[in-house]
Amino acid sequence: MARINPGFKKEIQKYGSFDFNACYNCGNCTAVCSLTDAGNSFPRKMLRDTVLGLEDDLKSSVEPWLCYYCGDCSTTCPREADPALLMMSLRRWLTAKYDWTGLSGKFYTSKRWEIGAILTLSVFILLLFVFFHGPMTTELTPEGGVALNTFAPWQAVEIGDWAMAGLLSFFLISNIVHMYFMIVRKSRIRIPLKLYLKEFWALIFHFATQWRFSKCESESGTRRENLKKGKYNYWVVHFLLMSGYVILFTMIVGMLGWFQTDEIHPWWHPQRMLGYYATFGLLIGTIYFSYLRIKKNNEKTKHSHYTDWTFLILLFLTTVTGILVHLFRINGMPYLTYYIYVIHLMVLFPMLMIEVPFSKWSHLAYRPFAIYFNNLVLAARKQNAA
Amino acid sequence: MNNRIGVYVCQCGSNISDYIDVEKVRAEVAETDGVVLARTTMFACSDATQKEIVQDIQNNELDAIVIASCSPKLHLFTFREVANRAGLNPYRYVQVNIREQGSWAHSDNPEMATFKAIHQVKAGIARAKLSQTLTRLRITSVNTALVIGAGMAGMKAALELADMGTRVFLIERDHFVGGRTSQWSSLFTTFETGEEVVLRVYREVDSNPNITLLTGAELVSVKGTVGNFEATIKITPRYIKPGCDMKQYPELEAALKKAIDACPVEVPDEFNFNITKRKAIYNAFKSEFPQCPAIDHEHCTRCGECLKYFDHIDLEQKEETLSVQVGAILVATGFDPYEPAEGEYGYHELANVITLPQFKRLIEIDEKELVYKGRPIHTIAYIYCVGSRQTEGPNKHCSRYCCTSAIHAAIHANRKYHGIQNIHFNRGIRTYGKQETFYSESLEAGDIFVQFLEEEPPVVFSENGKTIVRVNDILTRQKEVEAEADLVVLVTGMVPRKNSNIGELLKIPTGRDHFFNEVHPKLKPVETVIDGVFICGACQAPFNITESVKSALSASSKANALISKGYIELDPLLAEVNQEVCVWCDSCAKACPFDAISKISFDGKQIASVDHSKCKGCGMCLPVCNVDAIGLTGYSDHEIESMIDQMIG
């Protein structure tokens, strides 16, 4: 038994969607969707549950994560109910629901909370440096670089990194466990342990490739044709950005001693090559996605929530300040290096702390886990039926 | 006996000639005794052939013609006119149907089709030989119409008739005109109010010299036939002196209020569909006209309390009976909203379950806040198709107006009050035509639509003092969903008027749904099988106001065309009594579906007599006559027998 809750639409509207009530249930959205299938039918089902305000059903739905916002449903919708935007809004809403701390919901529905949190964390980093920074030596290394590790010894920063990574993992993993309970446990299907292992590859595969995402763009024509037409641009740029992020995150958190050196390696050194690749990916990604969001010429980027912009701006600033740190360091400009390094961390830290467990970047975990959980449920159902 | 007969065998392009050897038919019948001319033709109905036939008739001095072609339903009148143009009596024309009854029916067997056609044409020739000159009957008619019911349809019909020069008696059973329309505050699709619309029409009716409006007036009997009906009308007294118009004399308001307060009799107010009460003396609602109070004849106890305060009361008024002569009668008696059964979706069992008409009155009455029985209303559940589209019982029809009306009322409530949430439990929304925009508007305003199947209707029940509507929503995977509602509105359909005997009085046939039946839904949509009696508006079928008015205009022009010439022409192919042979046994009178046969005295005995204005020439009376005293002009026994002889010959 589900109770119709007309008030729910007000809540979901805070997460970005506004037109879904115009829906008259024709189902064209589901008909044109290149990702929907018999196992998981969307977006009409999600739209319907939202209109009726069936929160419990929505909370246990994986469908929003299976959608990659190609926007075909919204361009096809005869009522301009914008189903794609609703799916996006539901992803934000689900992120807030998975988060047991409630902070995510606050960030998504209140600009004050979001900006306040960013500023607080920035000031925290600033204060750390004000009180604990090392000597601001102007003496350069033999190669002519700045002695950054004197100002901010990597050993000390790494302790902070580990602390941050610990916090991030704690929040993100606990939210994923919460998500597991909401989706898999709620389905009341017994899943044998073997299936958990068997389906695990999907998690890794989809995390690494965003394979479904690329499927989303290839509604018609061969892959080669679509590649020529630029239909994979979005996926390619997204891949660049994602891989750059993962590489940098790994180097910063796990290998800071190798990454943050005073020594200036030759240009072909893996440290520099990887750093350049990642920086390139992040820069291209943030500029490309910002450009699309300003131009608003496709469904995916037509409607930007303020959290979308917060994320892009923070990431862009992190990238730019990172580049500057590098340039100032290798060109022997000590004070600029120190100041920009502090600013770099003042942006980087809140960006990771807010975006990864509580906001847009949590999708890096929720999307592959949703596919994993969904595959588990479907496979178990199939086994039970057979 | 005619013996200069012309015969034409039509090919109908190839419709006939593909299967029937028309040349063979022509050759076979050309030799028949009495036939002086036999031709085949590509299209008998074409202009050129019609002209040829006219010339043939004149040049050969033909005294009868036979055309073997299509069904007489298609071209009987065409060819009668051809005969007429040639100076030949149209009843000396015989049509033989060799298409529907020949080529089309026997396309599998051309040989036998030809064989059959030859015999058919020979039979036609035999009948033509015996055909006689007949003239159309003429009866006089008065150019006056009776319009029953002064709702929107009745008033518009009366106005239209009056404008075309027909005198009109417009009678209304109630003391006020406007019918159902005056009960609706806001109307789709323009949001005009019933008051505005009714007032505009009423003003015109009131000032039109050709219209006599009688309120409190009811048809009690009717005699006579088309062109000359005699209608008897009973007029119930209003018990208010004439000319007491409250709009004109607002100073009377206070006295009237005192009189109403003094009245000890309280009855449910039908105008508000019984959600409020009124006294036996009551004032007109602002949408009712004339704006003049009335006293309820049925419930008033004549106690005289009101007389102490209000001078314009006259309890001495008596019921009057009036007889009028009219040429045609237009029935515009409207509909009743379906009254749900006790307990149907909690009706009369739960305090907050009402019908759509009641809800529409409630929106009109509640000014600032929507309140019902002292409780504020925020969430409203509408249950559609109550009393419509039912598999069982007479109400199988879709009432057509209710989807739009319910959505319109929901929008109206949303606009008028603060914080309204509408939830529509429907069986598929049918806001056809331009009304679809209302559906869009309500969706965009946040109304929720839940759809159920007829076999799984919603259940309305009370739980911890809350009213819950529960249903399997087919739009949500047949999932069982429920909603809490402050008010449940049953979207009731239209049913025929319950307390009306107009149908029986005028002998208008009704359908299985008990609405009045037209002769043909497309070809004669406002005519009934009773000549001179027309139907319009929602007494015929569920119509909205626009559709009612359209049918009213249609019926008024048909009525005017029928009676305005001063005479009505009738086909002479009617039943005829052989006065010598008839011995009056009443079998024919019983068999006649049109009440056309009555008993008269003739030459010292009782015999049957046929009223020509009622007889339709159907022939039902012929086979029941024991002494063969009744015949049908144009289809005499002699003619039919001679045809049979040819058929089997």
- Please check whether residues A280 and A155 belong to one and the same domain: yes
Mind listing the pLDDT tens digit for each residue in A241-250? 999 999 999 9
Strand-pair partners of B439? none
CATH code, domain carrying A61:
1.10.1060.10
Interface check for B475 against chain A (CB to CB < 8 A): the answer is yes
Can you tell me which residue has the tokens 């360091």?
A: A329
Instruction: Report the CATH architecture of B573-633.
Output: 2-Layer Sandwich (3.30)
Confidence at residue A217, expressed as pLDDT on a 0 to 100 scale:
59
Q: What is the mean pLDDT of residues A315-327?
A: 96
CATH number of B5-134: 3.40.50
Whether the pLDDT of residue B375 is over 60: the answer is: yes
Q: What is the mean pLDDT of residues B242-263?
A: 90
Mind listing the pLDDT tens digit for each residue in B460-514? 999 999 999 999 999 998 899 999 999 999 999 999 998 889 999 999 999 999 9
- Please check whether residues A309 and A346 belong to one and the same domain: yes
Mind listing the pLDDT tens digit for each residue in B129-172? 999 999 998 999 999 999 999 999 999 999 999 999 999 999 99
Confidence at residue A221, expressed as pLDDT on a 0 to 100 scale:
67
Give contacts of A 71-100 with B, CB under 8 A: 79
Count CB atoms within 10 A of the CB of residue B460.
25
Q: Which of A1, A6, A45 sits opposite B480 (nearest CB)?
A: A1
Mind listing the pLDDT tens digit for each residue in A150-173? 999 999 999 999 999 999 999 999
Whether the pLDDT of residue B293 is over 60: the answer is: yes
3-state secondary structure of B87: coil
Residues of A with Cβ-Cβ distance to B466 under 8 angstroms: none
* Residue A1: inside a domain: no
Per-domain residue ranges of chain B: 5-134, 144-179+187-236+319-334+505-563, 250-308, 338-495, 573-633
- Please check whether residues A94 and A107 belong to one and the same domain: no
Interface check for A24 against chain B (CB to CB < 8 A): the answer is yes
Q: What is the mean pLDDT of residues B212-218?
A: 97
* Residue A363: inside a domain: yes
- Please check whether residues A214 and A358 belong to one and the same domain: yes
- Please check whether residues A308 and A321 belong to one and the same domain: yes
Mind listing the pLDDT tens digit for each residue in B376-401? 999 999 999 999 999 988 899 999 99
Residues of B with Cβ-Cβ distance to A52 under 8 angstroms: 448, 450, 473, 476, 481
CA B125, CA B33: separation in Å to the nearest integer? 9
Whether the pLDDT of residue A218 is over 60: the answer is: no
Whether the pLDDT of residue A189 is over 60: the answer is: yes
CA B348, CA B342: separation in Å to the nearest integer? 6
- Please check whether residues A260 and A318 belong to one and the same domain: yes
- Please check whether residues A209 and A111 belong to one and the same domain: yes
More confident residue, A171 or A143: A171
Confidence at residue A219, expressed as pLDDT on a 0 to 100 scale:
56
Q: What is the mean pLDDT of residues A289-310?
A: 93
- Please check whether residues A257 and A367 belong to one and the same domain: yes
- Please check whether residues A291 and A155 belong to one and the same domain: yes
In the listed set A39, A73, A98, which residue is the last one of a domain according to the structure? A98
Q: What is the mean pLDDT of residues A225-234?
A: 78
Confidence at residue B537, expressed as pLDDT on a 0 to 100 scale:
97
- What is the pairing mode between strands B597-602 and B281-282? unpaired
Q: What is the mean pLDDT of residues B629-637?
A: 90
Give the CATH fold of the B338-495 domain.
FAD/NAD(P)-binding domain (3.50.50)
**CA B316 → CA B238, B239, B241, B252, B393, distances in Å?**
10, 7, 10, 21, 46
Same fold for the domain at B144-179+187-236+319-334+505-563 and the one at B338-495? yes
Interface check for B367 against chain A (CB to CB < 8 A): the answer is no
Q: In what helix (H) or strand (E) does residue B279 lie, and over which residues does it extend?
A: strand B277-279
- Please check whether residues A119 and A264 belong to one and the same domain: yes
- Please check whether residues A72 and A220 belong to one and the same domain: no
pLDDT band at A230 (very low <50, low <70, confident <90, very high): confident
Interface predicted TM-score (ipTM) of this complex, two decimals:
0.88
Q: What is the mean pLDDT of residues B35-42?
A: 96
Confidence at residue A210, expressed as pLDDT on a 0 to 100 scale:
84
Q: Would you call B482 and A1 a contact, using CB atoms and an 8 Å cutoff?
A: yes
In the listed set A52, A75, A98, which residue is the last one of a domain according to the structure? A98
Mind listing the pLDDT tens digit for each residue in A355-367? 999 999 999 999 9
In the listed set A71, A98, A125, which residue is the last one of a domain according to the structure? A98
* Residue A306: inside a domain: yes
Q: What is the mean pLDDT of residues B568-583?
A: 91
**What is the domain count for chain A?**
2
Q: Which domain, by its residues, includes A83?
A: 8-98
CATH number 3.30.70.270 is the correct assignment for the domain at B144-179+187-236+319-334+505-563: no
CA B5, CA B594: separation in Å to the nearest integer? 36
Confidence at residue A83, expressed as pLDDT on a 0 to 100 scale:
95
Terminal-residue alpha carbon distance, chain A: 29
Q: Which of B446, B476, B481 sits opposite A21 (nearest CB)?
A: B446
Strand-pair partners of B9? B40, B68
Closest by CA to B401, choosing from B430, B423, B424, B439, is: B430
Interface check for B483 against chain A (CB to CB < 8 A): the answer is yes
pLDDT band at B2 (very low <50, low <70, confident <90, very high): confident
- Please check whether residues A233 and A298 belong to one and the same domain: yes
Closest by CA to B547, choosing from B567, B520, B525, is: B525
3-state secondary structure of B645: helix
pLDDT band at A143 (very low <50, low <70, confident <90, very high): confident
Can you tell me which residue has the tokens 């047949």?
A: B478
pLDDT band at B122 (very low <50, low <70, confident <90, very high): very high
CA B590 to centroid of chain Cα atoms: 26
Q: Report the interhelical angle of B545-563 vs B152-163 (nearest 10°).
A: 30
